[in-house]
Amino acid sequence: MSARPANWLNRRERGTVLGIRAAYRFATLVGRAPTRPLVAVIALWYRLFDRRSVRCSRDWLRRATGQRPGFWATYRHLCTFAQVTLDRAFLLTGRTRALRFTRQGLDLLERQQATGRGAVLLGAHLGSYEAMRAGGQQDDLRIQILGYFANARMINSLMAELNPTWSTQVIHLGDDPVGVMARVQEGIERGDFVALMGDRTGLNERTVEAEFFGEPAAFASGPFLLASILRCPVYLVFGLYSPPNRYDLHCERFAERIDLPRKDRDGALRRWAQAYAERVEHHARRSPYNWFNFFDFWAHHRDTAAAPRQDESP
């Protein structure tokens, strides 16, 4: 395992406050259908001018589909991201009549709720977490999202404006880990679900490597450490988007309990991370355009492999 600064956290939010607010306000004013041309234009702009995102999209689609992606494949990828991002306005404000949802495995969460004890919901930047949470609200599931939000202040402030209760449903991993842990533990004990992502790492966070699409990649060790401390079940959840308006909500049991024995802590972490990576890969292969990590996901492993060991000469 190793620690690293996560370059996705250091990337500035794209666009301007005015542009982001205008897009969301327009969407909530006129409805979803009239905004689809706007989404197409936004995606085209990024396809033409955002070289880094296009490069990462090409690399991802080549891995996920086994084919060399052309202009329209990368455009479709960016368009999917733009549409899912804009759909957050409708999901947060409860204006979901234009959206269709399919549900697979959400009965698992209903049964878990009936026990009176909460659980960890582990996802990835694959599809829409807001769609998953919207589906949970239909079943009166109390879901709080745990994550790093400092790098997206513009969007998060707008989310709070669109839905004043939004800020009460997120837990920021900031400078008070003890306080965060206490809040999470209390939530689990009263039957809440704590949702977090396992495919990105925070600044200086320890990581664990797992094979992902044929190459080692770094995953956050935090979700597995947290689940082992909470001693509660873990479920994998994904909200996968299919044009023009469908979200397929998927839930599956990942572990009844994550144990990390002291004698083989690192080995156990690697095994859990590998199991997680395999399930994410399974769903990502089925919905490759839902992958929203527009950075070099495998860079850390290559940088580590290329770096000289401490006992080697530079």
Q: Is the confidence at residue 134, as pLDDT, over 90? A: no
What's the CA gap between 148 and 203, in Å, rounded? 9
State CA 281 to chain mean position distance: 14
The answer to the question of residue 29 being in a domain is yes
Using pLDDT thresholds of 50, 70 and 90, give the confidence band for residue 313. very low
Q: Which has more pLDDT, 74 or 262?
A: 74
Asked whether residue 314 is assigned to any structural domain, the reply reads: no
* pLDDT computed for residue 309 by the predictor: 42
pTM of the model as a whole: 0.86
Domain assignment present for 146: yes
Instruction: Evaluate whether 177 touches 183 at the Cβ level (below 8 Å).
Output: no
Query: Cα–Cα distance between 162 and 20 in angstroms, integer?
Result: 13
Within a domain: 313:
no
pLDDT at 24: 80
User: Residue 68 is part of which domain span?
Assistant: 2-306
Percent of the chain with pLDDT over 90: 56
Residue 312 forms part of a structural domain? no
pLDDT at position 174, please?
Answer: 66
Average pLDDT, whole number, for the chain? Answer: 84
- Measured CA to CA, the distance from residue 167 to residue 159 in angstroms comes to 8
Q: Has residue 32 been placed in a domain?
A: yes
Whether residue 311 lies inside any domain: the answer is no
Asked if residue 131 is part of any domain, the answer here is: yes
Q: What is the pLDDT of residue 20?
A: 67
Q: For residue range 29-63, what is the model confidence (pLDDT) as tens digits?
A: 888 999 999 899 999 999 999 999 999 999 999 99
Domain count, the chain: 1
